[in-house]
Amino acid sequence: MDTGTNIIEIQDLTKKFGQLTAVDSVSFSVYKGEIFGFLGPNGAGKTTTINMLCTLLTPTSGRASVSGYDTSKQRRQVQRIIGLVFQDTTLDDYLTAEQNLLFHAYAYGVPKSVRETRLEQLLELVELSDRRKSKVNTYSGGMKRRLEIARGLLHHPQILFLDEPTLGLDPQTRHYVWEHIHALRQQEELTIFMTTHYMDEAENCDRIAIIDRGKIIALDTPDNLKDSLGGDIVILEAEDSQKTMLELKEKYNLSPQLQDETITFNVPHGETFLPQLIRSFQSKLVSISVHRPTLDDVFLKLTGHAIRDQEADAWTQFRRMMPH
Amino acid sequence: MKAVLRATWVIAYRDLLRFIQDRPRLFGSFAMPLLFLIIFGAGFNRIIGALAPGVDFIQFMYPGIIAMTVLMNSLMSGLSIVWDREFGFLREVLVAPLSRTGIVLGKVTGSSVIAIGQGLVMLALAPIIGVKIDFILVLKLIPLLLVISITLSGLGILMASRMRSQQGFQVLMQIIIMPLIFLSGVFFPVNNVPVWLEVVSKFNPLTYGVDAIRQVFLNGNMSAVAGVSGDSGYALGVTIFGHTMGIIEDALVMAVLGVILLSLAIWSFSKQE
């Protein structure tokens, strides 16, 4: 990774759909060669941002550039150097894998001299060589995703955009897709820009931007984000929550939070703190657990709600917007 | 220019490839024209009999059926765009470094090649119906079918450029196809009808396509049309302000409409997000 060079630069990027502000004055940069993760619940503005970066949408205001080309003024140049794998499949189901790849090669003007070798090499990479002549409608979901990744790379892009690359795939296939993504970065000198709402997947990224309701609320490496919470997370239940809260505050100088009878607080070293606590604690405890912070915790801390809560929320809103 | 041509060829290539592999469509697009030919032909032939000396009803209708086949296939250009949008492939096309004008022209090229091909396949029926065809006729027919298919492909794409769902497009297509076909002079001459029907028919682009093809087919027998239209009242041709349209004039009307529809289609398709 070359932290000196920005391959994507975004400044005050905003997209409005009527009254709704999907992306709200977002600014950030992506380094050349990194895996950059865009993390947030559904409806947070991830796909809208990607669509602006890949020239499908024109920003309402602000600007974005990819490798120095403006995404709304120099569309053609941007399109040539990016590869895309969308959330939903964009393959032609009635054509074979080979025909889909050839269409892409023609559309991007891949020179004839390298076309065949490139095709073979990529099918090899995603382990679909034996299914080359099969129609795509005979493929499983995971195979389609792999084929799309191969297709996205066919024209040697500098950046690969992956919009929820593992959405709807079973855990085994997800793992498999990730193996491919890591292998790719080694082989192709790629920058990868991906969106996800799976916290565990975001751990694979070099840096993560957390987006909520159209705004970026944090941007750092996964480790730094987790460290920012101030150590491990202790969750306990007590017979008398109020008394326990008070004791934790006064005796240990902590700032616990109470939610539905469970008390949560952070301590720098959970595993050594717990024995101390148990030895001297006055109030009666029912259960106690400690874990290293996850990105879920980071999200919860930053937004005040869990990523899943909001998804349900977004879904309800969506349902309400529908005519019937 | 080079970018437009490349996009045109890439899109047309894929549409043709797709067509070859889609057998139901290959046969499906013959179904309605054939059905009309058989049902209307059998039903009306006895009642109507000869419309003009030497031209019976089936022979009168047959050129219109060819135009109809071309119409059905040309409007498929629109359906394929809506289909691609619904199944996602359109995004692959829109993010590729392809000229939007070229994409529209590619769709037109693809569907026109298919439409002309299907139209010519309908010629196989000619001997059964008792219409003589020869090589010259086919040569005359091809440019006419080309003009018709380009014009109607333009209409199809214009209709499709903002449509989100196939169902919606199918409904729109039914609403548009039926009047286009019934008011185009396929089934009855458009001169000997109530004024309102005549006016509507003469705004229908397909009317001129049907008329031109019919003139090619009924070459000798159109004399009933050319001169004596006003008197005999049995005019098979299309007259505008008392002037009977010739093949070239018909083709020109279609071509002008085609340029307008195609420009609107390109404009509308390019502006979408």
- Residue-wise pLDDT for A24-53, tens only, equals 999 999 999 899 999 888 888 888 999 999
Q: How confident is the model at residue A123 (pLDDT cuts 50, 70, 90)?
A: very high
- Residues in chain B within 8 Å Cβ distance of A58: 273
User: Quick one: pLDDT at residue A18?
Assistant: 87
Q: How confident is the model at residue B227 (pLDDT cuts 50, 70, 90)?
A: very low
- Residues in chain A within 8 Å Cβ distance of B22: 94
E strands within chain B?
Answer: 50-52, 55-56, 239-240, 243-244
- Residues in chain B within 8 Å Cβ distance of A84: 91, 95
Residue B166 or A135, more confident: A135
Please name the amino acid found at residue B191: N
Gap between the Cα atoms of A264 and A291, Å rounded: 11
User: Quick one: pLDDT at residue A251?
Assistant: 84
Residues of chain A with CATH 3.30.70: 230-292
- Residue-wise pLDDT for B101-135, tens only, equals 999 999 999 999 999 998 988 888 888 887 888 88
User: Quick one: pLDDT at residue A324?
Assistant: 42
Residue A232 or A304, more confident: A232
Contact assignment for A103 to B14 by CB distance below 8 Å: yes
User: Residue B5 region, left (φ>0) first, then alpha (ψ -120 to 50), else beta?
Assistant: alpha
- Which tokens sit at A239? 């017979």
Neighbours of A57 (CB within 10 A): 20
Statement: residue B3 has pLDDT above 90? no
Average pLDDT over residues B161-190: 86
Gap between the Cα atoms of A111 and B224, Å rounded: 60
Q: Out of B32-36, B70-74, B247-251, which region has the weakest mean confidence (pLDDT)? A: B32-36
Statement: residue B265 has pLDDT above 70? yes
User: Quick one: pLDDT at residue B27?
Assistant: 76
Gap between the Cα atoms of A142 and B74, Å rounded: 36
Q: CA separation (Å) from B208 to B51, B52, B203?
A: 19, 20, 9
User: Quick one: pLDDT at residue B235?
Assistant: 56
User: Quick one: pLDDT at residue A307?
Assistant: 66
pLDDT over 70 percentage in chain B? 90
Statement: residue B269 has pLDDT above 80? yes
CA angle B45, B51, B57 (to 5 degrees): 30
Statement: residue A69 has pLDDT above 50? yes
Statement: residue A310 has pLDDT above 70? no
- Which tokens sit at A104? 């892409």
Please name the amino acid found at residue A66: V
Note whether A168 and A91 are within 8 A (CB).
no
Q: Which residues contact B153 (CB under 8 A, 6 or more apart)?
A: B74, B75, B77, B78, B107, B108, B111, B112, B115, B262
pTM given for the model: 0.83
Average pLDDT over residues B4-32: 86
User: Quick one: pLDDT at residue A82?
Assistant: 94
Please name the amino acid found at residue A118: R
Gap between the Cα atoms of A12 and A25, Å rounded: 4
How far apart are the CA of A33 and the nearest CA of chain B, in angstroms?
A: 22
Contact assignment for B21 to A103 by CB distance below 8 Å: no
Strand pairing partners for A194? Answer: A37, A162
- Domain positions in chain B: 2-184+258-271
Q: How far apart are the first and last CA of chain A?
A: 50
Statement: residue B260 has pLDDT above 90? yes
Q: The domain at A2-221 falls in which architecture?
A: 3-Layer(aba) Sandwich (3.40)
- Strands A207-212, A35-39: pairing is parallel
The class that CATH gives domain A230-292 is alpha beta
Q: CA separation (Å) from A228 to A157, A220, A231, A263, A302?
A: 35, 10, 8, 20, 10
User: Quick one: pLDDT at residue B170?
Assistant: 87
- Residues in chain A within 8 Å Cβ distance of B95: 54-56, 79, 82, 84
Note whether B111 and B11 are within 8 A (CB).
no
Statement: residue B224 has pLDDT above 50? no
- Residue-wise pLDDT for A252-302, tens only, equals 888 888 888 888 888 888 888 888 888 887 778 888 888 888 888 888 888
Gap between the Cα atoms of A140 and A163, Å rounded: 19
Note whether A61 and A26 are within 8 A (CB).
no
| Mean model confidence pLDDT for chain A | 86
Q: How far apart are the first and last CA of chain B?
A: 23
Q: How confident is the model at residue B53 (pLDDT cuts 50, 70, 90)?
A: low
Average pLDDT over residues B253-264: 94
Statement: residue B230 has pLDDT above 70? no
User: Quick one: pLDDT at residue A245?
Assistant: 87
Residue B41 or A320, more confident: B41
Specify the 3-state DSSP secondary structure of A284.
coil
Contact assignment for B98 to A107 by CB distance below 8 Å: yes
List the single best residue of A54, A94, A115 to mutate versus B (max B Cβ within 10 A).
A94
- Which tokens sit at B42? 């059998």
User: Quick one: pLDDT at residue A49?
Assistant: 93
Residues of chain A with CATH 3.40.50.300: 2-221
Tally of helices (H runs) and strands (E runs) in chain B: 13, 4
Q: CA separation (Å) from A84 to A185, B31, B84?
A: 15, 40, 17
User: Quick one: pLDDT at residue A301?
Assistant: 80
A106 interface with B at CB cutoff 8 Å: yes
List the single best residue of B19, B83, B91, B92 to mutate versus A (max A Cβ within 10 A).
B92
- Residues in chain B within 8 Å Cβ distance of A92: 14, 18, 87, 89
Neighbours of B38 (CB within 10 A): 12
